């Protein structure tokens, strides 16, 4: 037996609708059920309607002159198709329970409004099953699916992290600890130049930095130092017509210089208790203040002041946020 069926589409007299011969869905001594597809011309593409015909039989023959009939429009046909596909998928489970039915044909998942925790619990057993993962990895389509899932999870992680940073800034959160913990969890925000962060904080007796970053190119460590986002970054000297570092930034730069000297001396061949942490002429990234409402002159002034620093770069939290958003945009393609 074959599933192939020849379909002949013919135009109705109205010339706006085409149809095929009725398709028999079921025929028993008691009943006959047919579907009559209809194709309706639209400027944006043809739509499908379906007339459903139900006949009663008596002694194997159709009883009565007219069948029971009703028509489904295009959207109703699509909904019926979705319901039938879901029902068949649930039937394959062969047991009662709660099911999450996903579309795998690239036309959407139907997860809108679903509890994300419930969705995660439903999918987790699949991605945790070694046999499933091995089978997927052995096929081209499966490998692409795994790559897509991994990419989707990563993009979601980055998006949520960026949202958290933006919420902290917009809500006026000022605690350095809040932003330090965020940067510790999301070291990727510093860009591809760095590949990891260290748990080590103490670089010398009495000196503890906010964080160490490993350079991608050579593994040597640099420093990142955080100050509050409500601190001023630059100020303007009306007498000399120039911009200069604020008192808070000047103090933080001095602090960074001390840390850089201490780290270079203590870790040129690896820290005493952490020989894997090596730093040679390290650099520092200082994050302080906000710049979302800055003028073009202020942006240029910060760039110019940075250009004349050696070994230290100053950036605002808004620039850190923009850097994260640009990275996410690049990954999304």
Q: Is 179 exposed, middle or buried (0-12, 13-18, 19+ CB in 10 A)?
A: buried
- The structure tokens 């990142």 sit at 224
pLDDT tens for each residue of 254-274: 999 999 999 999 999 999 889
Residue 1: which pLDDT band, with cuts at 50, 70 and 90?
very low
Q: How far apart are CA 285 and CA 300, in angstroms?
A: 18
pLDDT tens for each residue of 268-294: 999 988 999 999 999 999 999 999 999
pLDDT tens for each residue of 16-46: 788 888 888 888 888 888 888 888 888 778 8
Mean pLDDT of the residues in the chain = 84
Q: What secondary structure, in 3-state letters, does 175-218 show?
A: CHHHHHHHHHHCHHHHCCCEEEECCCCEEECCEECCEEEEECCC
Q: 113-117, 181-185, 199-203, 319-323: which has the highest mean pLDDT?
A: 319-323
Q: How far apart are CA 174 and CA 197, in angstroms?
A: 23
Instruction: Report if pTM > 0.75.
Output: no
Query: Which has the minimum average pLDDT: 116-130, 155-169, 301-315?
Result: 116-130
């Amino acid at each position: 037996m074959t599933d192939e069926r020849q379909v002949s589409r013919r135009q109705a007299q109205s010339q706006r609708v085409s149809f095929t011969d009725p398709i028999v869905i079921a025929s028993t001594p008691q009943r006959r059920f047919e579907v009559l597809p209809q194709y309706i011309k639209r400027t944006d593409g043809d739509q499908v309607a379906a007339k459903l015909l139900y006949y009663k039989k008596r002694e194997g023959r159709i009883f009565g002159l007219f069948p029971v009939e009703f028509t489904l429009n295009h959207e109703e046909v699509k909904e019926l198709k979705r319901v039938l596909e879901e029902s068949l998928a649930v039937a394959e489970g062969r047991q009662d329970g709660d099911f999450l039915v996903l579309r795998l044909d690239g036309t959407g998942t139907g997860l809108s409004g679903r509890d994300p925790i419930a969705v995660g619990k439903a999918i987790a057993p699949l991605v945790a099953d070694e046999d499933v993962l091995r089978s997927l990895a052995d096929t081209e389509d499966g490998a692409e699916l795994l790559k897509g899932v991994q990419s989707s999870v990563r993009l979601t992680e980055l998006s949520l992290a960026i949202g958290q940073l933006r919420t902290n800034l917009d809500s006026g959160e000022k605690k350095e600890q809040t932003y330090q913990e965020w940067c510790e969890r999301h070291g990727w925000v510093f860009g591809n130049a760095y590949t990891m962060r260290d748990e080590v904080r103490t670089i010398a007796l009495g000196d503890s930095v906010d964080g160490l970053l490993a350079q991608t190119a050579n593994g040597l460590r640099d420093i990142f130092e955080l100050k509050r986002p409500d601190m001023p970054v630059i100020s303007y000297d009306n007498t000399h017509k120039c911009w200069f570092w604020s008192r808070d930034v000047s103090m933080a730069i001095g602090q960074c210089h001390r840390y850089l000297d201490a780290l270079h001396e203590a870790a040129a061949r690896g820290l005493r208790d952490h020989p894997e942490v090596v730093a040679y002429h390290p650099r520092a990234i200082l994050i302080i203040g906000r710049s979302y409402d800055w003028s073009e002159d202020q942006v240029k002034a910060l760039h110019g002041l940075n250009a004349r620093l050696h070994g230290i770069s100053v950036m605002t939290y808004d620039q850190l946020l923009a850097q994260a958003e640009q990275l996410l945009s690049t990954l999304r393609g």
